């Protein structure tokens, strides 16, 4: 068996990104674009929440559903302590700081963050870049948090004074009698027969101009290494049946021109990266013709997906598309949304497996979103070092397509709904070689309204036998750890096929590997 070091050296010397001989997609060195191997998105709650403590009496929320004490900003260290300070102790070189979430960050109320000076982002940026790390200004292109909260930093002047530019604008009467009382804290949140879409309509030139002006001002104010256009926060730009890819391509073209003009002044390049949906088809449906952007040379990197799909993510499609135009691709990991669909998500083993799966699928780098638990930040050094990652235990899990989110009658997410006598299958990607692993074990959780018989299960065409079963209420858990499991599993895509004699759902499936 090759050692992990030998495998890592082979990767460095090989022109291929993926580890399978049949893969022929050439890798794109991130360093050649001035890009970091790991890019961490900080959504700036650790700055904007302390600026408005009246909105956040419980503290600073983190993805585990917990709250950290809301820092009182007396010094720069107070602002760094929740997230960026611990991150700086890792080898992470790239920070993408959310500076536009409705209100540009330089317009935050200063009362409670005055210690940071006239522009609160400046000292944070200078701290991060002190050791030569890269700093990106991240722009949420159509954030929808204002639909939920009446916080002042979400309801900026542009949104308030340009109601006609909303996708579903209110009438004057609705604005005066429903919205204003809610925004002013004197009335309840507006209720309508169906959900109102209060995001901005990108078919309107004024909307595109507004975001371009924000981008231009960010380039003027800050010593940036680049700009991130985050189209997934939140992923809607047009009214139904009015999606216009040409308008967004023109927008990205103008954004590129602004960066290039700023680069001429600064004397060094400014990078443009863009976070886009899980698939090229999903991007087109939203109005993002990423292929057109790549053909025009507008992007320095593609950030692929929401970060909540791994085995089921068609990252290979993004890699193939972007690499044809000599552009690298980041695979995304999100920390928050999978907690309900796979209860153990968040353990070091599951996070390592998610990262390993993205590398296996051809990612050139990794991008982290909503990943704010300080105790987990040292794991980033494992995720970015493929040789080290290859040596560590991992728990690979089938991920649910969060775009459609199948739900069982019990109100819980599930992978598959099994009907009596009807074969069904799921796939799981494993980045290790199971046949050479020290330990491999399988766990499958089934849920049903009543007691159910164990389905027949085959793995890559081999019938699995001698599974151990455990029952509790409506749950049935099957486990297996044997040489036959090792021989049935393989590196790459593994198909699990089920035939059940009763109605049940496959709620979770995972494979634990100790290399």
Same domain assignment for residues 332 and 247? yes
pLDDT digits (tens, 9 = 90+) for 28-48: 889 888 999 999 999 999 999
pLDDT of amino acid 1 = 36
Q: Which domain holds residue 477?
A: 416-514
pLDDT of amino acid 19 = 35
- Contacts of 220 by beta carbon, 8 Å cutoff, 6+ apart: 262
pLDDT of amino acid 25 = 58
Structure tokens at 133: 């790390």
pLDDT digits (tens, 9 = 90+) for 362-419: 999 999 998 888 889 999 999 999 999 999 999 999 988 756 555 555 456 788 999 9
Q: Give, to the nearest 10 degrees, the angle between helix 245-266 and helix 205-221.
A: 20
Same domain assignment for residues 509 and 369? no
H/E element, 367: strand 365-369
Same domain assignment for residues 150 and 275? yes
Structure tokens at 399: 């991920």
Q: Give a yes or no: residue 312 inside a domain.
A: yes
pLDDT of amino acid 325 = 96
- Contacts of 261 by beta carbon, 8 Å cutoff, 6+ apart: none
Q: How far apart are CA 280 and CA 285, in angstroms?
A: 9
Residue 432 has pLDDT above 50, yes or no: yes
Question: Angle at the Cα of 471 (from 466 to 476), degrees rounded to 5?
Answer: 70
pLDDT digits (tens, 9 = 90+) for 157-185: 999 999 999 999 999 999 999 999 999 99
**Quick one: which of 424, 418, 428 has its CA closest to 398?**
428
Residue 17 has pLDDT above 70, yes or no: no
Q: Give a yes or no: residue 278 inside a domain.
A: yes
Q: Name the percent of the chain lying above pLDDT 70.
A: 91
Same domain assignment for residues 370 and 502? no
Residue 5 has pLDDT above 70, yes or no: no
Say how many domains are in the chain. 2
Q: Among residues 356, 391, 426, which one ends one of the domains?
A: 391
Beta strand residue intervals within 374-438, DSSP E: 394-397, 416-418, 424-430
Mean pLDDT of 321-337: 93
Q: Give a yes or no: residue 303 inside a domain.
A: yes
Residue 18 has pLDDT above 90, yes or no: no
Same domain assignment for residues 375 and 420? no
pLDDT of amino acid 15 = 31
Q: Give a yes or no: residue 444 inside a domain.
A: yes
Q: How far apart are CA 194 and CA 192, in angstroms?
A: 5
Same domain assignment for residues 113 and 146? yes
Same domain assignment for residues 230 and 128? yes
Residue 140 has pLDDT above 60, yes or no: yes
Q: How far apart are CA 164 and CA 239, in angstroms?
A: 13
Backbone angles phi, psi at 129, to 5 degrees: -85, 0
CATH code for the domain of 86:
3.20.20.80
Q: Among residues 337, 356, 391, which one ends one of the domains?
A: 391
pLDDT of amino acid 403 = 60
Same domain assignment for residues 250 and 291? yes
pLDDT digits (tens, 9 = 90+) for 218-244: 999 999 999 999 999 989 999 999 999
Same domain assignment for residues 136 and 98? yes
Same domain assignment for residues 373 and 425? no
Mean pLDDT of 317-343: 89
Q: Which of 60-64, 449-453, 455-459 has the lowest mean pLDDT?
A: 60-64
Q: Among residues 391, 424, 445, which one ends one of the domains?
A: 391
Per-residue pLDDT band for 272 (boundaries 50, 70, 90) equals very high
Q: Give a yes or no: residue 178 inside a domain.
A: no
Q: How far apart are CA 273 and CA 482, in angstroms?
A: 45
Q: Give a yes or no: residue 506 inside a domain.
A: yes
Q: Classify the phi-psi angles of 470: left when phi > 0, otherwise alpha if psi is within -120 to 50, otherwise beta.
A: beta
Same domain assignment for residues 373 and 424? no
Structure tokens at 177: 């009698």
Q: Give a yes or no: residue 454 inside a domain.
A: yes
Same domain assignment for residues 242 and 340? yes
Residue 153 has pLDDT above 80, yes or no: yes
Q: Give a yes or no: residue 48 inside a domain.
A: yes
CATH code for the domain of 433:
2.60.120.1200
432 and 511 Cβ atoms separated by less than 8 Å: no
């Amino acid at each position: 068996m090759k050692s992990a070091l030998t495998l890592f050296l082979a990767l460095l010397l090989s022109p291929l990104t993926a580890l399978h001989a049949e893969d022929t997609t050439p890798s794109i060195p991130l360093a050649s674009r001035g890009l970091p191997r790991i890019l961490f998105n900080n959504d700036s709650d650790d700055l904007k929440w302390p600026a408005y403590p009246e909105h956040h009496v419980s503290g600073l929320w983190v993805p585990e559903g917990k709250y950290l004490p809301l820092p009182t900003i007396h010094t720069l260290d107070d602002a760094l302590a929740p997230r960026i300070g611990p991150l700086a102790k890792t080898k992470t070189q790239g920070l993408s700081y959310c500076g536009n979430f409705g209100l540009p960050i330089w317009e935050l109320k200063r009362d409670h963050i005055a210690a940071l000076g006239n522009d609160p982002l400046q000292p944070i940026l200078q701290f991060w870049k002190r050791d030569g790390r890269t700093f990106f200004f991240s722009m949420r292109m159509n954030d929808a948090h204002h639909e939920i909260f009446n916080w002042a930093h979400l309801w900026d002047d542009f949104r308030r004074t340009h109601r006609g530019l909303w996708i579903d604008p209110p009438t004057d009467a609705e604005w005066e009698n429903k919205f204003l009382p809610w925004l002013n804290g004197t009335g309840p949140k507006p209720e309508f027969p169906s959900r109102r879409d209060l995001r901005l309509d990108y078919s309107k030139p004024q909307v595109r101009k507004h975001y371009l002006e924000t981008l231009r001002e960010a380039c003027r104010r800050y010593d940036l290494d680049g700009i991130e256009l985050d189209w997934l926060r939140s992923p809607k730009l047009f009214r139904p049946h009015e999606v216009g890819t040409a308008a967004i391509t023109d927008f990205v073209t103008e954004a590129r021109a602004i960066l290039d003009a700023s680069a001429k002044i600064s004397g060094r390049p400014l990078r443009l990266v863009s976070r886009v949906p899980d698939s090229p088809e999903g991007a087109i449906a939203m109005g993002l013709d990423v292929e057109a952007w790549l053909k025009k040379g507008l992007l320095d990197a593609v950030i692929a997906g929401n970060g909540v799909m791994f085995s089921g993510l068609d990252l290979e499609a993004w890699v193939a598309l972007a690499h044809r135009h000599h552009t690298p691709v980041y695979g995304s990991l999100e920390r928050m949304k999978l907690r309900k669909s796979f209860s153990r998500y968040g353990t070091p083993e599951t996070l390592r497996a998610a990262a390993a799966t993205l590398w296996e699928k051809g990612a050139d780098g990794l991008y982290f979103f909503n990943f704010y638990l300080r105790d987990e930040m040292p794991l980033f050094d494992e995720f970015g070092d493929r040789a080290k990652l290859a040596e560590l235990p991992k728990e690979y899990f089938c991920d649910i397509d969060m775009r459609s989110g199948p739900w069982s009658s019990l109100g819980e997410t599930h992978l598959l709904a099994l009907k009596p006598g009807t074969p069904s299958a799921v796939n799981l990607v494993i980045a290790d070689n199971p046949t050479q692993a020290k330990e491999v074990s399988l766990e499958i959780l089934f849920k049903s309204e009543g007691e159910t018989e164990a389905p027949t299960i085959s793995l890559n065409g081999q019938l699995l036998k001698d599974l151990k079963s455990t029952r509790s209420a409506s749950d049935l858990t099957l486990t297996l750890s044997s040489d036959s499991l090792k021989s049935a599993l393989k590196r790459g895509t593994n198909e699990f096929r089920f035939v059940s004699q009763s109605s049940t759902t496959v709620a979770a499936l995972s494979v634990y590997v100790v290399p």
